[in-house]
Amino acid sequence: QVQLVESGGGLVQPAGSLRVDCAASGSIRSINAMGWYRQAPGKQRELVATTSSSGRTNYADSVKGRFTISRDNAENTVHLQMNSLKPEDTAVYYCHAVGTYYLGLIWRDFDTWGQGTQVTVSS
């Protein structure tokens, strides 16, 4: 199986910056897409940013120009640099990945979420 572990959340003042990181581990054969989603209290989980194995990126309109997603394919990591943070960015941020993993001599698809990391933007 594949596990995702996030790190880097915390408390930051409005207009500040923060970076969250995610590392994938396990019997990984390939990772197609990696990305970040977030869920604020009382709201549904929403897409923040995704990146494909080729480096193509996609951002939610609300974070375009402020957040940057990057990925290290060799290390199976994905990062989200968040600048000009706003109170409405406060949420639990979840890492997500889809790909394939080895199961003995065969391989299977995976679609995995991390446990989430809290990001709080407040003065």
Chunked into runs of 10 residues, the chain (123 residues) has average pLDDT values of: 94 98 96 97 97 94 98 95 98 98 95 97 96
- Is residue 94 within 8 A of residue 113, CB to CB? The reply is yes
pLDDT of 89 reads 98
In this structure, the dihedral spanned by the alpha carbons of residues 64, 79, 120 and 8, taken in order and rounded to 10 degrees, is: -160
pLDDT of 31 reads 96
Half-sphere exposure of 22 (CA within 13 A, CB side): 30
Q: For residues 32 and 93, what is the distance between their CA atoms, to the nearest angstrom?
A: 20
In sequence order, what are the residues at sequence separation of 6 or more whose Cβ sits closer than 8 angstroms to the Cβ of residue 18?
Answer: 8, 9, 10, 12, 82, 85, 119
